[in-house]
Amino acid sequence: MKQDFILGKLAEIMAWPAGIDREEFGWLRLMSRMKYDGYQDFLAGARFVESLADWLQQFAREERAVAYDFVRESLVYVSAAEMNHLVELFYPETVVWRLQAAVATLCSIPKWQVWASKESRNLFDRIRRQTLFVELSDGARIDVFRRANAGLISNEQAVTSPRLNREKWDDLLKDLRRDLQDPEARFAFVFLMDDFVGSGTTLLRKKGDGKWGGKLVRFWEDVEDHLATHFQADWSLCVHHYIATARAVRAIQERNQEIQTERGAGKWFSNVQFSFGTVLPGDLPLTPATDTPFMELAKKYYDPSIETEHTRVAGTGAMLGFGECALPLVLEHNTPNNSVALLWADTVGKDGRHAMRPLFRRRQRHT
């Protein structure tokens, strides 16, 4: 459908008087073109304005202004260009300075002197080749990372699966030793990469039975048997997320310290560091005190049928998103399940519950 027709229908849905509708049309056209139309999971043939009109219609007439104001004032949308920018910044702002610090330590020089001599520059190049980049999910955009660093990072250093078997580890080591022409070479750094962390639970968590779970635990299980043969004794693990909540940053650090203390030497990564392309403000999550009208809508239209074994890992319902993160956040390639359910849930409304139609349809992914 033409956007002008949909905007006219939207004006009817919202009961906008003349003047107000023109102002809102200008904002909607701008935001649709600059950001929202780029969302990857709209239904075929639909774009933001169509999705917004359909989403608003599910609310009672007196509730629609609350829902629209939430989109207008509170929604945070990360576009493809913004996410790719964070991917492109990862190497110069995170990788380089960590490798530079390692070279400075080995050469007993200040970090700023690393580029001053051929010896230290060559050592930097060697350590860079001794580095692996592993994506924790398809959101890591390792293809974008690889293109942005062509000539610096080889294809053999970019790993597109977080679960590696012995054959793959052996192939990676063989490629490393061939490139360096050193039969004794081993890996010095591993960077695990992902797009977003909201609660930290998917990365690292202690389960109800006292056991540890999450992507970081699975990586430890995969790499543990190869530490003596494939890695230097002083190797470092670096876990990087392009976007993180302030809550996740705290939780990850605390849980890593807990598991390190609990397991002891040799049973967990001895040198693990965490980094983030950007950390969302601590006051971003919605609260009953600051967002009362919208929170009431979220409660009224919530359908518990969206809860699954994956959402229950956090020990909470899904109305405010996974782990009750209550985020008003959308990423252009998917909506995090940490965001409020009213943004992404899609249900038919059984057992007397309201049906939920999404503004940004979410694609489920679990790794």
**Can you give the pLDDT at residue 274?**
98
**What is the per-residue pLDDT for 62?**
95
What pLDDT score was predicted for residue 367? 44
What percent of the chain lies above the pLDDT cut of 70?
Answer: 98
Greater confidence (317 vs 335) lies with 335
3-state secondary structure the chain: CCHHHHHHHHHHHHCCCCCHHHHHHHHHHHHHHHCHHHCCCCCCCCCHHHHHHHHHHCCCHHHHHHHHHHHHHCCEEECHHHHHHHHHHHHHHHHHHHHHHHHHHHHCCCHHHHHHCHHHHHHHHHHHHCEEEEECCHHHCHHHHHHHCCCCCCHHHEECCCCCCHHHHHHHHHHHHHHHCCCCCCEEEEEEEEEEECCCCCCCEECCCCCEECHHHHHHHHHHHHHHHHEEEEEEEEEEEEEEEHHHHHHHHHHHHHHHHHHCCCCCCCCEEEEEEEEECCCCCCCCCCCHHHHHHHHHCCCHHHCCCCHHHHCCCCCCCHHHCCECEEECCECCCCECHHHHCCCCCCCCCCCCCCCCCCCCCCC
What mean pLDDT comes out for the span 28-56? 90
pLDDT band of residue 317 (cuts 50, 70, 90) is confident
pLDDT value, residue 243: 98
Provide the pLDDT for residue 189.
98
pLDDT at 109: 96
Q: Is the pLDDT of residue 111 over 80?
A: yes
More confident residue, 7 or 224: 224
pLDDT digits (tens, 9 = 90+) for 268-293: 999 999 999 999 999 999 999 999 99
Q: What is the pLDDT of residue 315?
A: 63
pLDDT at residue 366 above 50?
Answer: no
Mean pLDDT throughout 166-193?
97
Flag whether pLDDT at 365 surpasses 80: no
Q: Mean pLDDT score of the chain, rounded to an integer? A: 93
Q: Is the pLDDT of residue 178 over 70?
A: yes
User: Above 70 in pLDDT, residue 99?
Assistant: yes
Give this prediction's pTM.
Answer: 0.93
